[in-house]
Amino acid sequence: MHDKPEVNINWFPGHMAKAQRMIREHLKLVDVVIELLDARIPLSSANPVIHEIIDNKPRLVALNKADLAEPDRTTRWLAHFREQGLPVVALDSMTGKGSKALVSRVEQLAGDKIAALVAKGINPRAVRAMILGIPNVGKSSLINRLLGTATVRTADKPGVTRGKQWIKIGKNLELLDTPGVLWPKFEDPEVGFKLAVTGAINDEVYDREKVMAKLLAVLRENYSERLTVRYKLTPPLPEDSSALLALIGAKRGCLRSGGLIDDEKARRIILNEFRSGKLGQFTLDDIQ
């Protein structure tokens, strides 16, 4: 029997509701909406409320952190979005791969709007776009990459961006950065789990023990070879997540006085290596 406990997370900071109001207020100022998703969880990192808010505004889907996702599955996700009639690009905002394609697509999507202004005798202006996404999906890192300088405050934790700001990207693009928007409630425990392990949710607001037990079960079931190689384990791996955690903890020297395994230290190591790509590339969402 596989150890896969349900992970229930309920999280609604007040600034989320404020962010949604801000988006509605400023939507009329922009020509294009860039919806930034995590390529590892394209479904779980999407917010259905965004679709209602932006209505008929041109939208570009950007799959960020593609360097951390499984390439063949990212290819399938790109095809899936195109089949839905949505323009889409894959990005690695840390290295800049895909950022030029993103700017080009945004300018294309705003072409009709700018042409209409010119037809009315108004001088051409820069395309105005809004970047939307859940916390920690990489909005600030993307803007920094587009600017070529670290002028927008970033951190590898949710909720760092506050308020709004216009950012000029070259001559032809202006970005309105907004705080991330997330569901007020996680109705699907699977979604909550995926958001937790990829870092979209602050590590203090969920049960790390349950989340890591589930992650270890998923890794053992689907990526056992990666665990074996990374932590120098001898197969077969134990089916019980607690036993597997203890095994990895022992290999990594996570010991307390008396020779006991420091479970929490072992959990932090595994989670950090999962998020950073040291355990390989992962895509947790399947196309439905």
The answer to whether 194 and 285 have CB atoms below 8 angstroms apart is yes
Residue of 198, 222, 212 whose CA lies nearest to 268: 212
The answer to whether 249 and 261 have CB atoms below 8 angstroms apart is yes
- Is 44 annotated as ligand-binding? no
- Is 66 annotated as ligand-binding? yes
Residue of 148, 182, 143, 180 whose CA lies nearest to 163: 180
Distance between start and end Cα atoms, the chain: 26
- Is 140 annotated as ligand-binding? yes
The answer to whether 80 and 126 have CB atoms below 8 angstroms apart is no
Rounded to an integer, what distance in angstroms lies between the CA atom of residue 189 and that of residue 191?
5
- Is 65 annotated as ligand-binding? yes
- Is 180 annotated as ligand-binding? yes
SS3 track for 177-197 = ECCCCCCCCCCCHHHHHHHHH
- Is 257 annotated as ligand-binding? no
Rounded to an integer, what distance in angstroms lies between the CA atom of residue 69 and that of residue 13?
28
- Is 210 annotated as ligand-binding? no
- Is 141 annotated as ligand-binding? yes
Q: Using alpha carbons only, what angle is made at residue 38 by residues 170 and 144, rounded to the nearest 5 degrees? A: 25
- Annotated binding residues for GTP, written as ranges, equal 64-67, 136-141, 180
- Annotated binding residues, written as ranges, equal 64-67, 136-141, 180
